[in-house]
Structure 1
Amino acid sequence: MQNLLEFIQQNQQLIYLVILMMFLGVEVISNVPSILHTPLMSGANAIHGVIVIGAIIVMGESASDDYLSIAIGSLAVIVGTLNMVGGFVVTDRMLAMFKVEKKNKVKK
């Protein structure tokens, strides 16, 4: 418990900054019009791709007997991949709603 209090005391400004960023992020996301959702979703998917690659690099750099780092890294890769693929699926379905279907015209 003492270590936790020391950590909070040493990093108090960073903790306040993270809390401020969370509130700011919620405000920004809640005010985004629905027409911009698809491009923002694509950008978020690209960011998750970078996160997955970073998690793979961190796992590769960890010691082979550090099972906690490998387990957390594996979990990060799995969850990041699911989030990224799910985002691309949702984006694809949203873009499919705007496509015009071509009718097959048969010439007689």
Structure 2
Amino acid sequence: MAKALLIYTRAALAEVAGCFAFWVWLRNGKSPVWVLPGIVSLVAFAWLLTLIDSDYAGRVYAAYGGIYVAASIAWLWFLEGARPDRWDIVGATVVFVGAAIILFGPRST
């Protein structure tokens, strides 16, 4: 479980960083050179999710959603300097609980 959480966390950071690189280029008018690390980061994100031990990709992606939202809120706060408001926190909590249900819910074989 700890290994999966580490992989999910790394994947989230890679995805947020990759998307942010495109954001900086397209929304903030920075150099197109920002796209290169963005592409590398997004490729790393996709590769990392393949390392999760699961029979179904969709379940991996659904469970990952909670980690992604938490990482995005952390990025907002720590890297962009915008403190999350109560709605950010409530929304992230709802998504995180949903991802935990998907990840830890009992399965019939």
Q: TM-score range by the shorter chain?
A: 0.3 to 0.5
Based on CA coordinates, which of the two structures has the bigger radius of gyration? 1
The TM-score, its normalising length taken from structure 1, stands at 0.40
